[in-house]
Structure 1
């Protein structure tokens, strides 16, 4: 097996693992919101879950680093920014995500990721990731669809097609 084939396989395995982790984060958030709404009718606080992918991240040697990590390292993305980029990319890779986005936001009309969702979904949320000066927006890794008077935090997010292809290893 060639180095490229080994890298592609490792990248695919990494993405599959990260997508499973992302779906579990959604399920935890949806369950927490459901319990919270039943008990107090208040929104849930951020999901408190260990980033189980960390240990698997360490298993990848330098030549087999997944594309998402390569991109994160080269562009100086924080862990939170990489999670936001994963969330936006996952929308193109997993047909279950739009429904999970709507359920997690308790809003059927929002079957897409938003900064508000990311700030709730991921550990160590960082408001500066929203800034037009940070890489996600400055380098247009993520497109923000903000029609009319929609707040920035509620605007639909979408990963650029070239970035999705890069992360997928195409």
Structure 2
């Protein structure tokens, strides 16, 4: 059985998520308590890294008891993921990488947890087909599409000439954050 073509994206997203959590917990002074892999990590405000009975044991990064994710939180997280992916996208992608990123956008438009958002994204993609011939092209396309969505929500428009400053490449040692992908003969065009 072949590997899921989105596997490298999911792995990169997991590394990004873990890095962000580590930095956030380091910054806020919250401690991560190991938990089984099928559960969310438990956080504590206790400086000794031991749960304190005066605090809830399941606390979000904002310090509130956990609640279901809001549509707005989901949207912000999705855009952060997509812009980070675009920043890491290769300047000279393979045919497979171009195909994968287009397929990812199509999958998002079908599987996004908010049906209203997914349906709107389908319309946006129809009017603005994915442009992924290079890192710069994909980043600019994504910024434009994000602004289309922002306009529909009456949110401010982001100046796309500043997209690299806002969502630049991750600072990872030895290029460990670069998108990994298989290159087959004749795939680099």
Fold in common (TM above 0.5): no
Q: Decide which structure has the larger Cα Rg and report it.
A: 2
Kindly indicate which of the two structures has a greater share of residues assigned to helix. Answer: 1
Where relative contact order (Cα < 8 A, 6+ residues apart) is larger, the structure is: 1
